[in-house]
Amino acid sequence: MGRIVDARGLSCPQPVILTKKAMDESKGGDITTIVDNTTALENVTKLAGSKGYEFQVENRSGDYYISMSKAAETASEETISVQEDVAILVTSNLFGQGDAELGRVLMNSFAYTLTQMASKVKHIIFMNSGVFLTTEGSEIAAHLAALENSGVEILSCGTCLDFYGLKDKLVVGKVTNMYTAMEILTAAAKSINL
């Protein structure tokens, strides 16, 4: 019997992250992930397909058992941890537009997910109200610190910190300026704007 991942009761993206970790650790071995909602079911099956796993789903009293096995032709592939030349620009303390509470939840989920990915970005730059995420009281400061410890450069706009009265409250990363931020963003192979 392969590895079991019980992800019932866990919110997004936990079922996917736990399944991805199991895939990495099992090196192509069989995995069964158990989830209790259709969103998690869809997300885990998408992951399985994208990673070359064949899967079957069984509904047992509202719990979905996703049995996955690596397709024969891809079973010997190895996951390589790479730091990509990617820069992320965060211009708000919320993820997206719409409900503020949902925006906070999504930003926390986004930051946590970045810590769990094998490939890391090189730089995360915080501008405008995004600097609230790198200062005292930030819900994601621990995630950002973990990213910084893994080699990701965390930068906050000095003008923005001054504007919001947060310069002495920076808890993760370093202060930067617009010129340096633009150099990083334009030199990166890919940039993502939040």
Query: What pLDDT, in 10s, does the model give residues 111-131?
Result: 999 998 867 789 999 999 999
- Of 170 and 183, more confident: 170
CATH entry, 3-74, from 3.30.465.10, 3.90.1150.10, 3.30.110.40, 3.90.226.10? 3.30.110.40
Is residue 132 within 8 A of residue 103, CB to CB? The reply is no
What residue spans of 51-177 are helical by DSSP H?
100-116, 141-149, 158-163
Which segments within the chain are labelled E, that is strand?
Answer: 3-6, 31-35, 53-60, 63-70, 86-90, 123-126, 153-157, 174-176, 190-193
Distance, CA of 156 to CA of 90 (rounded, Å): 9
Tell me what pLDDT residue 102 has: 94
The values of phi and psi at residue 53, to 5°, are -95, 140
For residue 77, pLDDT over 60 is answered with no
User: Would you kindly state where each structural domain of the chain is located, as residue ranges?
Assistant: 3-74, 86-193
- Please say whether the structural domain 86-193 has been given the CATH code 3.40.50.11890: no
Confidence grade of residue 70 (pLDDT, cut at 50, 70, 90):
confident
Average pLDDT for residues 148-159, to the nearest whole number?
Answer: 92
For residue 71, pLDDT over 70 is answered with yes
For residue 74, pLDDT over 70 is answered with no
Tell me what pLDDT residue 116 has: 85
The values of phi and psi at residue 60, to 5°, are -120, 100
State pTM to two decimals: 0.68
Tell me what pLDDT residue 65 has: 93
